[in-house]
Amino acid sequence: MRSALYILAFVLLSFAAIAQNKGKSATDNLVVDSTIALPPDSTISDTLIDDESEAEAMDSTVNAITATTTNDEVYTYHPEDRGESFRHYFIPVLIGSYYQPKGKDSLGTYKGAGIEYTFIEAFTDNKFHHGPAYERLYGKLSIMQSSKTVQSDLFSFSFGFEFSFEKHPNRHIFIPYYGLEYGGFIQKYFNTVGCIIPDAGIFLLYSKRIALSCSGGYVYPFSNFEMLQGYYAKASLRIIFW
């Protein structure tokens, strides 16, 4: 009986030792698996320093992009680059005109007044605008009297357009422009004669409400060319009260 007890105690102690050894091995394996793998010849401190360097480089890149974007926005919306912009439709303009035909010895010189009717006028004072800053399409009617009392009055009619030479004048005075008129003259002496008048002028004052200009050109008639060709001058005033 005593021998059986000794044998049983020995078996129990053996199982306990085996179980203890298995638990220790599992713990060692767990520690090894949780260890962070590092590149050869490097330490944890080196890895942290590299991460900080990458973060600083990324911050520098973001700051550079932000600065570039900010500078572009400031340049794009600079006050001097974007000036006044407006449009007018169906606006009357008062004019005074002067016509000196080549045959002035028999016809005399003509002076008179009239009206231009602006169908559309656009002004865009912008550095980034493509095309002329000032554009206008109009019709004109005027009556002129001859310096020769024997000559009857001259009636003039035409359609025309005007463009500024500049796309960004950045001012309201001395703005040059050019244009072309197509129309004709009606007078008792030579009946009706068609003509074209290329001209150029300058705005002494130009704004949204008031515009004052003077221009000059040359009349090219379609008939009686030798007598009716000649110089033409015009002064105009536009005032908008509304």
Task: Let me know whether 152 and 207 are in one domain.
Answer: yes
Can you count the helices (H) and strands (E) in the chain? 4, 8
What is the per-residue pLDDT for 52? 57
92 and 185: one domain? Answer: yes
pTM over 0.75: no
CA-wise closest residue to 185 among 137, 146, 216, 150? 146
Are residues 134 and 72 located together in one domain of the fold?
Answer: no
- Shared domain for 64 and 95, answered yes or no, is no
Which pLDDT does position 204 carry in this prediction?
A: 98
CATH number at residue 196: 2.40.160.20
Half-sphere exposure of 80 (CA within 13 A, CB side): 1
Per-residue pLDDT, 68: 46
Residues 185 and 103 in one domain: yes
Residue 30 pLDDT? 43
Regarding whether 134 and 203 lie in a shared domain, the answer is yes
pLDDT of 14 reads: 58
3, with CB counted inside 10 A (0-12, 13-18, 19+), is exposed
71 and 103 share one domain: no
Residues 63 and 136 in one domain: no
Is 29 found in the same domain as 107? no
pLDDT in tens, the chain (242 residues): 555 555 555 555 555 555 555 554 444 444 444 444 545 555 544 544 455 555 565 555 545 444 444 444 444 545 555 678 999 999 999 999 999 999 999 999 999 999 999 999 999 998 888 899 999 999 999 999 999 999 999 999 999 999 999 999 999 999 999 999 999 999 988 889 999 999 999 999 999 999 999 999 999 999 999 999 999 999 999 999 88
Residues 144 and 224 grouped into a single domain: yes
Provide DSSP, 165-231. S-S---SSS-EEEEEEEEEEEEETTTEEEEEEEEEEEEEEEE-SSEEEEEEEEEEEESSSHHHH-EE
Domain count, the chain: 3
CB–CB of 234/95 below 8 Å?
yes
What pLDDT was estimated at residue 83?
Answer: 73
Residues 60 and 111 in one domain: no
Domain that holds residue 13: 1-34
Give Cα separations from 44 to 31, 40, 56, 200 (angstroms). Answer: 17, 11, 19, 81
106 and 211 fall within a common domain:
yes
